[in-house]
Structure 1
Amino acid sequence: MISDEQLRLLFESAPNGMIVTDRAGRVMFVNAHVEQLFGYSREELIGRPIEILVPERFRAGHTGLRDGFARNPRPRPMGAGRDLYGRRKDGDEFPLEIGINPFRTDDGNFVVASVVDISERKRHEEHIRFIMNELSHRSKNLLMVVLAIANQTVQRAISFGEFQKLFEDRLMAIGRCHDLLVEKGWAGASIDGLISAQIEQFTGIAARIDAEGPAIMIHPEAAQNIGLAFHELAMNAVKYGALSSPDGRVVIRWDVDQTHTTKRFRLTWEEQGGPPVDPPRHEGFGHKLLSRISRNSLDGTVSGLAFRPEGLSWRLECPGELVIRH
C-alpha cells in the first residue's frame, strides 16, 4: 500500500501541476508546480474555491460545470475539445489543459486535476497557421505571375521552341528570386543580391555591371518584381543592348529620397557604350513587365523607359514603404 506521505511525494514530483479539491470545490492540496504556474503559495490556495484560478468571466459558468461533474463524476481527458484558461495571481491569463479524475477515500469524495500550461504550444500552432496562410497567399500570387508570363510569352513567340526557351528563362528568374527570399526566411532580399542572382546566368558580364547604392532590404513581393525586371533588362542588354558589345556597360544606381513627406525609393538602369538603340516597333513582354511593375505593383512611375541612342535607360520611383523592409 502507498502511504499518505508517499502519495504526497508522488504528487510533488509530478511534471504537471496537481490540484486536489473536495466535493464543494475547495482546494485541499497543490504541488509546487501549481505554485509556479499560478504565482500563489499553497498557503494562499488551501481552503479557497478552485474558481480563484479561473478567469473572472468564466467563474459563474465554471461553478455550474463543477456541480455537474459532482453529480456525474467520471474521468475527463486533458483537452476535451475546449479552450481553457487559467488566471495567475497577477491577473495574467494563460491557456491550459486539464485532466480531472474523481476518487473516493474514507474522508469523502475528491477530485484530482492535472494542469499543463500550453502557451508555448499555442504559439507554435499560431505560427504554423500564419505560415500556412502566407504559403497559400504566396502560392496564389506566384500562380498568377506564372500565368501572366505564359500568356505574354506565347503571344510574342514565333515558335514553340522560342516560347519554351523564354518561358523557362523567366521561370528560372522567379526561382532565383525565391531562393534569395528563402535564404532570408522570406524577410526580404537585398538589391545587390537580386542583381547578382539575375546576371550570374550570363557569362562574363559581371565586371561590366556598375551597381552602387545603400544597403536596402526589399519586401518579398517587391523583390520578386524587381528581380524579374533585372532579368528582362539583362537579357535584353545581352541580346541587343550595351552588353552585346565588348565595350558596353550598365550603370545601376539606387537610393532613398527623403526630401518628400514620404520617402521615395529610386532605382535607375542605364546602358552605355552599346550599339545604337532604336525604339521597338512593338511593345514586348519586357516592356510591358517594366511598365506594369512600376504602375501597378509598386504604385510608381517610370520617368524614362527611354531608348536613347547611347543606350536604353529605365527609372523606377515609388513610395519607399512599398519597397523597403525596415
Structure 2
Amino acid sequence: MPEALLNYESLFQQMSVPFAVLDHDRSYLAVNTCYTEMLMRSAEDLIGNNIFDLFPETLERRRRVDAAFRKALAGQTITLSEVSYPIPGLTADADTPSQLYWNVHCSPVHVADGRVIGFGLRVENVSEVVHARQVKDAIEHELRHRVSNLFAMVSTIARRTAANHRDIDSFLHGFLARIQALATTNSLLTGDNWDGMTVQALLERQLGGFMSDAGQIEMHGPEIHLSASDAQLLSMAIHELATNAAKYGAISDTAGHLTVDWQFTPQGGYFIDWLEEDLSNIRPEKRAGFGTSLLTRILPNQLNGEVQQDFGPDSHHFRLTVSAPRKA
C-alpha cells in the first residue's frame, strides 16, 4: 500500500470534526487541528494535561461525563447528547449564546494486542439546534398564554358590554368596536413586535384615525416598551378614552385639544397623561359602565398601577401611573 495512505497523523489532523485522544488518567495524548481551533487553545496547552483541570466541571456534570469516559475505557462506545458547558473564550462575543451545548462521542482506542490505552473524544457543537428548539418552545408557550388571555379578555368584554345594553344592536355596536381595538393592537404584535410594542406605536395606531392637520392631538414622550399583555390591555383603555373624546370630548369639539404625554418615573415605572382641554360639552358618565370599570379598576389592577381622573368645567384629565413594566 502506498506510504501516503499510511500517514495517519496527517489524516487525524485533517479531520473536519474536533477529535482528541485521552489516556486512562483523562490526560490528553493527541488533539487535531479542528479540536484546538474549537477551544482556541494550542496543542501544547492541552497535551499532557488533565481535561478536568483545564475545563473544570460541576460535580454532577463531571460524574456524568466521567462515567462515559469509564465506559469507553472498558471498551464501549457511548454518546452523551446535548451536554451543557460554556467554553471560556467562546462566550465572550455578544453574538455567541452564553450557554453552549455539545454532543460528546467516546470510543475506546486499542493497540495491536487489543489493550485499551485510552479513548477517543469527538465533540460536536449543537448549540444552534438546542437554542432554536428553546426559542420554538418559548414561542409555543407564549402563543398558548396569549390565546388564553385573549379569550379571557373577549369573554370579559362580552359580559360587561352586555350588562349595559338592552338590545342586541346597541350591544353589537359597543362590543365590536372594543374587539376591533383589541384586534388592531394584536395585528401589531407579530414579526419584530412579537415581544411587545412601544407606547407611541400603540397610541399612533389607536388614535391614527382621529389625527388631522388642525393639530388637535399632540403626543410626546420617550421610547417606553410594553409587554404584549400590557399593550393589549392598554389598547383597550386608549380606545375607551378616544371613543369618549370623539363623542363629547376634545375630538368632537373643533376648539378642543388633546395632549398625551408619557414619561419614566424615578422608581423605574412610567406614567401616561391624557389631557383634554377647551371643551364645551363635558359629560362624565353618570353610571359606571364597562368603559369606566376598565379605566378605573381593571387597568390599574392588571398593570399594578394607579389611576387619577378629574373632570373640570372645560377639561378632562386622566393619568395612569405604573410602578414598573411587566416582563410578560
User: TM-score band, normalised by the shorter chain?
Assistant: 0.7 to 0.9
SS of alignment partner, residue 106 of structure 1: coil
Specify the alignment match of 1:106 in structure 2: 112
**Residue 66 of structure 1: which of 65, 69, 80 is its match?**
69
Specify the alignment match of 2:224 in structure 1: 217
SS of alignment partner, residue 3 of structure 1: helix
Q: Is the contact made by 2:249 and 2:256 (CA closer than 8 Å) also made in structure 1?
A: no
TM-score, normalised to structure 1, is 0.76
Looking at structure 1, the residues matched to 89 and 285 of structure 2 have their Cα atoms a distance apart, in angstroms, of 74
Specify the alignment match of 1:36 in structure 2: 37
Amino acid in structure 2 at the alignment position of 1:36: E
Specify the alignment match of 1:153 in structure 2: 161
The Cα shift of 1:293 comes to 4.8
Looking at structure 2, the residues matched to 3 and 303 of structure 1 have their Cα atoms a distance apart, in angstroms, of 84
Q: 1:70 to 1:290 in 2, by over 3 A?
A: same
Looking at structure 2, the residues matched to 165 and 43 of structure 1 have their Cα atoms a distance apart, in angstroms, of 78
**Residue 246 of structure 2: which of 232, 238, 245 is its match?**
238
The Cα shift of 1:17 comes to 0.8
**Residue 284 of structure 1: which of 275, 286, 289 is its match?**
289
Q: Is the contact made by 1:300 and 1:318 (CA closer than 8 Å) also made in structure 2?
A: yes
The Cα shift of 1:97 comes to 1.3
**Residue 76 of structure 1: which of 75, 78, 81 is its match?**
78
Specify the alignment match of 1:256 in structure 2: 263
The Cα shift of 1:201 comes to 4.5
Q: 1:183 to 1:314 in 2, by over 3 A?
A: farther
Looking at structure 2, the residues matched to 164 and 171 of structure 1 have their Cα atoms a distance apart, in angstroms, of 10
Looking at structure 2, the residues matched to 268 and 320 of structure 1 have their Cα atoms a distance apart, in angstroms, of 18
Specify the alignment match of 1:55 in structure 2: 56
Equivalent runs, 1:17-36 vs 2, <5 Å: 17-22=18-23, 25-36=26-37
Q: Is the deviation greater in 118-127 or in 282-291?
A: 118-127
**Residue 204 of structure 2: which of 169, 176, 196 is its match?**
196
Looking at structure 2, the residues matched to 155 and 134 of structure 1 have their Cα atoms a distance apart, in angstroms, of 32
Looking at structure 2, the residues matched to 89 and 185 of structure 1 have their Cα atoms a distance apart, in angstroms, of 32
Percent identical among aligned pairs is 25
TM-score, normalised to structure 2, is 0.75
The Cα shift of 1:150 comes to 1.6
**Residue 95 of structure 1: which of 93, 97, 101 is its match?**
101
Looking at structure 2, the residues matched to 293 and 205 of structure 1 have their Cα atoms a distance apart, in angstroms, of 31
The Cα shift of 1:99 comes to 1.7
Amino acid in structure 1 at the alignment position of 2:179: L
The Cα shift of 1:299 comes to 4.0
Looking at structure 1, the residues matched to 213 and 78 of structure 2 have their Cα atoms a distance apart, in angstroms, of 68
Q: 1:261 to 1:218 in 2, by over 3 A?
A: closer
Specify the alignment match of 1:165 in structure 2: 173
Query: Is residue 303 of structure 1 aligned with residue 308 of structure 2?
Result: yes
Deviation sequence 1:274-303 (CA, Å, 0-9, x none): 5x3344332112111111255313444443
Looking at structure 1, the residues matched to 297 and 45 of structure 2 have their Cα atoms a distance apart, in angstroms, of 67
Q: Is the contact made by 1:256 and 1:320 (CA closer than 8 Å) also made in structure 2?
A: no
Deviation sequence 1:107-135 (CA, Å, 0-9, x none): 64453321123344444444444444444
Specify the alignment match of 2:319 in structure 1: 316
Structure 2: segments with no counterpart, 5+ residues: 93-98
Structure 1: segments with no counterpart, 5+ residues: none
Looking at structure 2, the residues matched to 229 and 321 of structure 1 have their Cα atoms a distance apart, in angstroms, of 18
Q: Is the contact made by 1:55 and 1:85 (CA closer than 8 Å) also made in structure 2?
A: no
The Cα shift of 1:232 comes to 1.3
Amino acid in structure 2 at the alignment position of 1:229: A
How many residues in Structure 1 have an aligned counterpart in Structure 2?
Answer: 313
Query: Is residue 140 of structure 1 aligned with residue 142 of structure 2?
Result: no
Deviation sequence 1:241-283 (CA, Å, 0-9, x none): 44445x253412314386x777762402315445x33443321
The Cα shift of 1:159 comes to 2.7
Looking at structure 1, the residues matched to 111 and 234 of structure 2 have their Cα atoms a distance apart, in angstroms, of 74
SS of alignment partner, residue 321 of structure 1: coil
SS of alignment partner, residue 308 of structure 2: coil
Specify the alignment match of 1:267 in structure 2: 273
Q: 1:87 to 1:257 in 2, by over 3 A?
A: closer
SS of alignment partner, residue 83 of structure 1: strand
Q: Is the contact made by 1:300 and 1:317 (CA closer than 8 Å) also made in structure 2?
A: yes
Q: Is the contact made by 1:205 and 1:243 (CA closer than 8 Å) also made in structure 2?
A: no
SS of alignment partner, residue 15 of structure 2: coil
Q: RMSD between aligned alpha carbons? A: 3.8
SS of alignment partner, residue 289 of structure 1: helix
Q: 1:243 to 1:299 in 2, by over 3 A?
A: same
Amino acid in structure 2 at the alignment position of 1:217: I
The Cα shift of 1:173 comes to 0.9
